[in-house]
Amino acid sequence: MTVPAPARKIIPIVPVAEEAGGLYEATKKIYPRSVRGKFARWRWAMVFVTQLFFYATPWLQWGDRQTLLFDLVARRFYVFGLVLYPQDLIYLSGLLVLSALSLFLFTAVAGRLWCGYACPQTVYTEMFMWIEQRIEGSRIARMRLDGESFSAEKLVKKWFKHFIWLGIAMWTGFTFVGYFTPIRELGMEFLQTRMGSWEVFWVFFYGLATYGNAGFMREQVCKYMCPYARFQSAMFDKDTLIVSYDLPRGEPRGVHARAQDARTQGLGDCIDCGLCVQVCPTGIDIREGLQYECIGCGLCVDACNTVMDRMAQPHGLIRYATQNGLAGGWSAAQVLRRVFRPRVLIYGAVLLALCVGLLASLVVRVPLKVDVVRDRTSLARIADGGKLENVYRLQIMNATERSQRYRIDASGLRGLAVATPSQAVDVGPAESRWVAVRLQVPAEDAPPGSHTVFFNVRSADGVSQVSEKAVFLIPR
Amino acid sequence: MNDFISGFWANYVAVAAVVSILACGLLLWITARGRIAPTDDNTTGHVWDEDLREANNPLPMWWVGLFVITIIFAFVYLAFFPGLGSFNGKLGWSAVSQYEAEVAQADKDLVPVYAAFQTMPVERIAGDPKAMAIGERLFMNNCSQCHGSDARGSKGFPNLTDVDWLHGGTPDKIIETVTKGRIGEMPPMAAAVGTPDDVKNVAQYVLSLSGRSTDSVRAGLGKSKFTACAACHGIGGVGNQSIGAPRLNDEIWLHGFGENAIVAMINGGKHNVMPGQEGRLTEAQIKVVASYVWGLSNKAVALPVVLP
C-alpha cells in the first residue's frame, strides 16, 4: 500500500493591481496623545533619575579630577575612588554580564520594562515629545499644524521647536563627550573656540544622533533597528507581566452611555473610544493582543483607567497581566505568587551572587599591578662572585593616585636574591614603570633546569603587596 | 598599493566587487516593484509548515533610502580608495602611506622634545632625569634585545655597564658605535698558530694573562705562539680599541670562559655584528641613548643638570 505523496502547495504568483500594497511603504507619522496616570508618572520619574545622573555626573569633582572619566587615550578609567586599568577589563565584563542578567530578570518578570521606562531611546523621545507638545500643542493641534499649508505661525513654531531640540541634542552630545574628555576643560575649549577636531566631530555625531533618534526616528528605532527588542520576546513566558487587554471583559466593544449597564445591551466594558491607540508611542492597538511593537510602557493602561473612572467601572480593562492569569481568571495575589518561579529565582540568585562577587573583588582589589617579562636573549649568565644570574623586566603599575615607593624581593629558590643596585622603585601617581631586575643564586648548589620563582613587590606604606610568578633558568 | 601578480585576478576582483554592488541595487529594485494583494488578515498569503503565515509588515521607505545610500557610498568609496582590483583610488591612500605619514608626524612632534639635547654635552644629558627616562625607553626598545634589559649583556653580547670597552667608551665613540654599528671580526687563527697542541698552549697562555692558567708549562710554551694573536690583541693581550680587539688580560670573557672556549675561538674565529641604528633612530635619539649608555658606567661623573 502506497502512501499518497502530500500535495505540494503551489503559491501562485498573481499579478495584482498597482494600488495593492508593496513591500515598502512611507512611514506614517505617529502623533501620540499625552496622558496622565500612574505609569506615566513612573516614566517621568525614570526620565529625571537617568538624565539627572547623565547630565550632572561629569561636572562632579573627586579630589582634583572628574568623578567619572573614561580616559581612553591614557587608558585609565576613573570611577569615583577607583582608577581602573586595561588589566581590570574583567570588571567591565562583569558589568556587562550584570546588565544582561538584569535585563533577563526584568524582562522575565514584567516584559519590556527597560524599553518602556529606562531606555535612552524612550527617555529622549519622551523629552522631545514634551517640548513638541509645549510648542505645537496637543495631538489634534499638531496634526492640524502639519496638515496646514505654509504659514508664518507654522514657520515660527517649527523653527522654534527644532531650535530647542537641537540645543538639547548638542548639549547631550557635549555631555557624552565629557565622559571621555574632562568636561570642564572641554567647556573652556568650546568657549575659546579651540576644541579638537575629533571632539567637535563626536559632539556633533552624538548630538545629531540624539536629534535624529528622539526627534524623527522615535518608535522606528524600536521596530526596525533595535536587537534587544527582537530577542526579549525569547525571555517571555506565560507568567510574564505584559500589557494586556482583558478580552472577555471588554468585548464586544461598543459605545454605551455611562450610567447604563453595558451587559444589558450585550456589550463589554470597552467603549471603543480609541484613547489607548491615540496615546501609544508605537501606534499599535493593544486590543489586538500582544504585538512585537509593544514596548510595555503602560500608557494605554493609564489612558484606559481614566476612561473607566469616568464610566464608573473598575480599573484594569487594560492592565499588566500574565497570559496564565488572564486565561485562568487569577487574582492579583495569584499572579504575584507566580512571579517567584524558578526562572526568576535563578536569574535573581545569579545576579545577586555576581553583584556580591563584583563588589567583594573591588573591595579587596590591590592598587598595584606587576607584570614580569623574562629577558629572552640571555637565558642565564655568570655574575661576579660565581653567582648565576637571570634578568627580568618588571612593569610596576601604581594604581593609586599618590606617588609610591615599592620594594622588590624574590622567593622560591634557596639563596635567591635580588641583585639590582637599588631595590626600591618610585612610581608616580597612576603611572607605570619598567625596571630591569636581576635575580641571583649561588652557583654551587643550584639544581639545573627551570624553576618557578616569585617576585614579591610591596609598597612602602605596606598597603599593597603583589606576588608574581616567574621562571628562573639554570643551565646544565 | 596592491600585490596582484597578474591582470586577470585584478580584473576578477574588480568585476566581482562591481557586480555585487549592482546586484544589491537590482534586488532592491525587484522587491520594490513587487505588489501584494490585500488580504483580510494582513498576511502575504505565504504559508509554511501547515500554519506559519507571513505577516505583511512593509519596511519603511527610509530603510530603502538607507539601502540606496549604501550603494552610492560603495561606488564613492571605490572611486577614492583601493578596492577595484589594481585601481588604487583617487586619493592614493594606502595603509603603508598612512603608516609612513604617521611616523613622519610623530618624528616631527618629537623634534621639540629632543631640541634641548642637540647642543647639550653627553655628560650633561646623562645627569638629566627626564633625558635618562627617554634614554631608558629607547634602550629598552632598541638595544635590550641583545644587551639585556639591564645592559649587562650575555655571552657574545658586550656588557655596557662596566668600564671595559671594545671600541672605546668616550661619548663620541659610543655615538659612533650606535650610529654606524660595529663588526667584531676575528679570523680562524688555527693555521697561523700551528698544531692543535699549539692552540691548546696558546689558550693556556691567554688564561695565564689574567692569572687563571691551570698548566703553567703549556702557558709558557704558548707564549711564543701568541705573536700571531698579538697583531690585534697586543703584546700581553692588552687589546686594541681602534680595531675592537678585546683585552685578554682581564676577567671579562665575552665569548665564554675556559680552555675549551678559547680553543674554539682560535679554531673557528668569530664574526660578531652590532647593527647600526642610523636611519632607525634620529641623530638626537642616538645622542640620548648614547648618553644613557655612557651614564651606566659613568654615573658618578655625570654632570648634574643646572637649572636656569
In the predicted structure, residue B48 carries a pLDDT above the cut 60: yes
DSSP B51-91: TEEEE--PEEHHHHHHHHHHHHHHHHHHHHSS-BTTB--TT
Interchain contact A385–B (C-beta under 8 A): no
Dump strand ranges (E) for A364-422.
368-374, 381-383, 387-398, 404-411, 417-418
What cell numbers appear for A209 in the block?
A: 544622533
**Residue B77 to chain A, least CA–CA distance (Å):** 20
| DSSP β-ladder status, B59-60 and A24-25 | parallel
Dmax (CA) for chain A in angstroms is: 110
- The Cα–Cα gap between A256 and A466 comes to 78
Question: Least CB-CB distance to B58: which of A18, A23, A420?
Answer: A23
Q: Mind listing the pLDDT tens digit for each residue in A132-151?
A: 999 999 999 999 999 888 88
Q: In this complex, do B149 and A436 lie within 8 Å of one another by their Cβ atoms?
A: yes
CA distances in angstroms from B95 to A474, B13, B101, B102, B262, listed in the order given: 45, 19, 10, 10, 51
- The Cα–Cα gap between A117 and B200 comes to 90
Q: In this complex, do B60 and A378 lie within 8 Å of one another by their Cβ atoms?
A: no
**Residue A334 to chain B, least CA–CA distance (Å):** 34
Name the interface residues of B facing A (CB cutoff 8 Å). Answer: 31-38, 45-47, 56, 58-64, 136-137, 140, 144-146, 148-155, 157, 257
Q: In this complex, do A11 and B45 lie within 8 Å of one another by their Cβ atoms?
A: yes
- The Cα–Cα gap between A415 and A451 comes to 13
**Residue B50 to chain A, least CA–CA distance (Å):** 10
Q: Mind listing the pLDDT tens digit for each residue in B230-287?
A: 999 999 899 999 999 999 988 888 888 888 999 999 999 999 999 999 988 989 999 9
Helix axes of A197-212 and A152-177: crossing angle, nearest 10 degrees: 130
Interchain contact A278–B (C-beta under 8 A): no
In the predicted structure, residue A384 carries a pLDDT above the cut 90: no
Interchain contact A57–B (C-beta under 8 A): no
Q: In this complex, do B37 and A20 lie within 8 Å of one another by their Cβ atoms?
A: yes
In the predicted structure, residue B71 carries a pLDDT above the cut 70: yes
A18 dihedral zone (left: phi>0; alpha: psi -120 to 50; beta): alpha
Q: Please, which pLDDT band fits residue B308 given cuts at 50, 70 and 90?
A: very low
Q: Mind listing the pLDDT tens digit for each residue in A50-93?
A: 999 999 999 999 888 999 999 998 888 999 888 888 888 899 99
**Residue A89 to chain B, least CA–CA distance (Å):** 26
Interchain contact A27–B (C-beta under 8 A): yes
Quote the pLDDT of residue B294: 94
What cell numbers appear for B70 in the block?
A: 549604501
**Residue A440 to chain B, least CA–CA distance (Å):** 14
Interchain contact A23–B (C-beta under 8 A): yes
Residues in chain B: 308
* pTM as predicted: 0.77
A268 touches A245 (CB < 8 A):
no
- Determine the average pLDDT of the residues in B167-195: 93
**Residue B38 to chain A, least CA–CA distance (Å):** 6
Name which of B59, B149, B274 to mutate to probe chain A: the one with the most chain A Cβ atoms within 10 A of its Cβ.
B149
In the predicted structure, residue A108 carries a pLDDT above the cut 90: yes
**Residue B96 to chain A, least CA–CA distance (Å):** 23
Quote the pLDDT of residue B303: 61
Q: In this complex, do B63 and A224 lie within 8 Å of one another by their Cβ atoms?
A: yes
Nearest CA in chain A to B61: A26
Q: In this complex, do B35 and A18 lie within 8 Å of one another by their Cβ atoms?
A: yes
Tell how far CA A355 is from the center of its chain: 16
| Sign of the dihedral through C-alpha A401, A402, A403, A407 | negative
A417 burial level (CB within 10 Å; 0-12, 13-18, 19+): middle
Counting one residue from A and one from B, how many pairs have CB atoms under 8 Å apart?
94
Single-letter amino acid code for the residue at B252 = I
- The Cα–Cα gap between B215 and B259 comes to 10
Query: Considering only CA atoms, which of A366, A370, A371 is closest in space to residue A400?
Result: A366
Q: In this complex, do A20 and B257 lie within 8 Å of one another by their Cβ atoms?
A: no
A54 touches A175 (CB < 8 A):
yes
Quote the pLDDT of residue A406: 93
Dump strand ranges (E) for chain B.
35-36, 43-48, 52-55, 59-60, 182-186, 270-274
- The Cα–Cα gap between A211 and B6 comes to 50
- The Cα–Cα gap between A284 and A278 comes to 9
Chain A 287-346, residues with CB within 8 Å of chain B CB atoms: none
Quote the pLDDT of residue B304: 59
- The Cα–Cα gap between A119 and A116 comes to 7
A78 touches A66 (CB < 8 A):
yes
Nearest CA in chain A to B38: A20
A112 touches A240 (CB < 8 A):
no
Q: Mind listing the pLDDT tens digit for each residue in A190-233?
A: 999 888 899 999 999 999 999 999 999 999 999 999 999 988 98
